[in-house]
Amino acid sequence: MIRFKLAGIPVAMHWTFFLFAALIGAAGREDGVRMAAWVVVVFVSVLLHELGHAFAWRAYGHQPSIELQGLGGATRGDPDRPLPPGKQALVALAGPVTGLLLAAVAFVVGQLLVIPRESLGARVLYELWWANTVWSVFNLLPVIPLDGGIIVASLERRVRGGRPPRAAFYLSVAVGAGLALYFATVQQWIAVLLLASYAYQAFQTLRALSRVEADAPHPALAAAMVALKEDRLDDARAAAQLALMGAKKDVELNVALHIIASVHTRQGRPDDALNILLSMPRGLKASPLALGEAWTTKGEHLKASTFFRDAFRDAPVRETAYRYARSLLDAGLDNEMRELLTSQASLGYSDETCAGLQDALYERGKFEESSRVGAHRHQKFGSAAAAYNAACALVKLGRNDDAMKWLTAAADKGFRDVKHLDEDPDLAPLRGSAAFDALRQRLVTAPA
């Protein structure tokens, strides 16, 4: 893999890119110089095509990257910041437009320069025109994942409010299969291979969409889950009750009942929540996490801890670890808490599990234990967050020098949030010290 940057954009090139460029150009180019010129033409053309995409991504605030391999390239923006459909279409269009502009420049230069038709220069200009015209037109075909297919899919998503672009995939199957058959008649086997594979991929995607839609939850249930997440509790309960009336599967009934129970718990009615959870219909089982939350709201921390223990054993993730540890501390079960932190099983806890324990200990004022869990997390997983939170716990204990060591460790592992450092009230006793100011200056000047 060859890696370099062009205009600040990372580019990665796989050896298969040059292999396929040579294979495509093998016919009629027995001369080594002409073959080399063809490979350079393909490289420049595909790279500029991808740069068209990359500059469009950059115009929308992304940090793009380019990869060249096999029969072409791919340009990606930031994976966690998807563009709205209209902008996605423009990004897709930028590549073919760049290629067509390069083809036009090659054509005009070829007309203006007086050079022998059989010279290498004339051949390079012709191939620049030909390669960019053909590649750009091919990419504009309405077949996903070609640029034309992405444009069609993006426009359909915009019209349909973000729903899956089924029509674009149907079009990809029809056009891809039809053109594959045509190119087979003229023995253009690379085009046949590409278009047939694209048509098959689109067909498989349509099958997957059909399965997903068949398994999709009741619309009201989906609305209830969104409302609960956004803490719109009355809306969540109303939507869940509507879903109950239309539930066709046990899983839908189970989720709807749990949403209603959760609303009762959050609104301070744990008895109503427990009435639902302890009288679930036959075949359905109440979540131990939901039962634990209801008993916690009722003030029965000892009883809640048994359900949180079950939830933690079923799935030792951050949320269950946090709730189980918190319930043990609230119930005064110090021995059980010590066992949770020091048992043989604790050696296998994940970073997220340890994070839940660290959070619960800190929240309940167990700063010494919280800092120890943070130290363990940092040593085992290299977690910047663990080191930062350990520093906060040590500040609470008045151990400012030790706290600064852990803040430095957090910075060493990638912590860069100067704004949070300035505003976190837990760190107030450190501000103004020479060590804190030096660390802050280090973060300000650190590369992004």
Q: Is 174 a residue whose pLDDT tops 90?
A: yes
For residue range 380-439, list pLDDT tens digits in order: 888 899 999 999 999 999 999 999 999 999 999 889 889 999 999 999 999 989 999 999
Residue 126 confidence (pLDDT):
86
Tokens of 448: 């992004």
Is the pLDDT confidence value at 354 over 70? yes
Q: Output 271 or 72, whichever has higher pLDDT.
A: 271
- % of the chain with per-residue pLDDT over 70: 96
Q: What pLDDT is stored for residue 392 in this prediction?
A: 94
Q: Of the ranges 186-200, 241-255, 380-394, which is most confident?
A: 380-394
Q: Tokens representing 209?
A: 């969409």
Quick one: which of 365, 355, 360 has its CA closest to 387?
A: 355
Per DSSP bridges, beta strands 9-13 and 65-69 are parallel
Task: Say what the pLDDT of residue 367 is.
Answer: 95
For residues 7-25, give the mean pLDDT.
81
Domain boundaries, the chain: 2-213, 217-286
- Residue-level pLDDT at 287: 93
The CATH number that domain 217-286 falls under is 1.25.40
Confidence of residue 290 (pLDDT cuts 50, 70, 90): very high
CB 56 within 8 A of CB 94: yes
**Residue 214, pLDDT score:** 60
Position 25 scores a pLDDT of 65
What would the pLDDT profile of 126-156 be if each residue is shown by its tens digit?
Answer: 888 888 898 899 889 999 888 999 999 899 8
Question: Per-residue pLDDT for 448 more than 60?
Answer: no
Q: Residue 345 burial by CB count (10 A; 0-12/13-18/19+): exposed, middle or buried?
A: exposed
What mean pLDDT value characterizes the chain? 87
For 65-106, the pLDDT digits (tens) are 888 887 778 888 887 777 888 888 999 999 999 999 999 988
